[in-house]
Amino acid sequence: MTTAPTDTTDSAAFEASLLQFVGLEIGVVAVAPDEVNVPMVRHWCEAMGDTNPVYLDASAAAASVHGGLVAPPTMLQAWVMRPFGQGRDESESNPYSQLTKAVESHGFTSVVATNCEQTYDRYLRPGDHLTMRTVIDSVSGEKTTGLGAGHFITTRQDYYDATGERVGSMLFRILKFRPAPKPAPAAPKPLRPRPSLTFDHLFWFEGLKQGKLLIQRCAECGVLRHPAAPMCRECRSIVWDTIEAGGGGRIHSFVVVHYPQIPSIEYPNQVVLVDLDEGVRVVANTVDTNADQLVIGAAVQLEVRMCDDDLSLPFFKVVQS
């Protein structure tokens, strides 16, 4: 599966340009620093936990199908590994570097090895001296993978003994890919809308911050009022104080809001109009209440909750339907 290129002509030209690398030999012929030897085989077998006697036990090896000591076949690549401290040949004349740079210039900057296929023409024996030639075997078109879009690059390493006979071969495939963008971290949940505070109802929000639902009371005639207002509806007095609501009440009415949705509020958004036991009505959200518990007349209990550092609000929970 290929992704839709933004510019078909450019993309096709790019992919065609990659194909010119196929079949090119990479760098110089690598010469193994050491002949195949028993000490290195011993280190390998010790580390791998390999107890096959044909690698280290000369008499058992002689009696085996191999007729003498051989090296573990999977050790093939180890004989020509780069010395410690020596980096990859990244010179500009190296076709593999050119290919890598070409692919990276199109954003395929990450790399992962995907496949390794070794074929052994014969087992190696102590004294064999290897050389290795590397050829760019294939370059895929753009592929979509779990890691992101990318190109598979396969190299072939052929291993030869001192007589020039091929003793083994390895296909090694990597994926050069454009890392899939990481999902943006989830934005913090926005805060509930702020009340526009005025002197007339500041006391109400301040009371909630202390965990109290306050009800305004006329200091002259004693009538309770909510929402807060500067003057008594009954006697026109502007002198007032407050009492704290006991927390009991009943559902006078309710509505479940589905739309429009405000990011800071949980949906379905259950809104109740509660007749407090004191005789005033309050609009609030519910807590710990299922939709089927929302019944007109149901008894509710107040819970003041802190929504964030600057806002606490009254919520009601149905305690009896």
Partner 1 sequence: MNSLHDTDVNVGDQLAPLVLPLTRSLIVATALASRDYQDVHHDPTLAQQKGSQDIFMNILTTNGLIGRYITDWAGPDSIIKNVSIRLGVPNYAGDTMTITGTVTSKQDGQIVVGVVGANSMGNHVTGTVTLVLGATGQGGTK
Question: 3-class DSSP state for residue 272?
Answer: strand
For partner 1, which is the closer residue by CB, 58 or 229?
58
Q: Minimum distance from CB of 112 to partner 1 (Å)?
A: 8
Q: Taking CB under 8 A as the criterion, which residues in 121-150 touch partner 1?
A: 123
CA distance 86 to 257: 68
Q: Which residue bears the tokens 């760019």?
A: 136
* Chain residues 10-49 in contact with partner 1, contact rule CB under 8 A: 40, 43-44, 46-49
Using DSSP, state whether 118 is helix, strand or coil. strand
- Enumerate helices (H) and strands (E) in the chain, giving the number of each: 5, 14
How far is 211 from 32, CA to CA, in rounded Å? 80
Rule CB under 8 A: choose which of 113, 184, 186, 187 binds partner 1: 113
Run of H or E residues at 155: strand 148-160
* Under rule CB under 8 A, residue 114 binds partner 1: yes
Contact 72, 61 (CB under 8 A): no
Of 63 and 202, nearer to partner 1 (C-beta) is: 63
User: Torsion over CA of 60, 66, 67 and 72, rounded to 10 degrees?
Assistant: -60
**Quick one: which of 58, 81, 255, 256 contacts partner 1 (CB under 8 A)?**
81
Nearest distance, CB of residue 130 and partner 1, angstroms: 13
Q: How far is the CB of 273 from partner 1 (least distance, A)?
A: 54
51-70 residues in contact with partner 1 (CB under 8 A) are 51-54, 60-67
Q: Is 181 near partner 1 (CB under 8 A)?
A: no
Residues that bind partner 1 (CB under 8 A): 40, 43-44, 46-54, 60-67, 72-75, 77-78, 81-82, 84-85, 112-120, 123
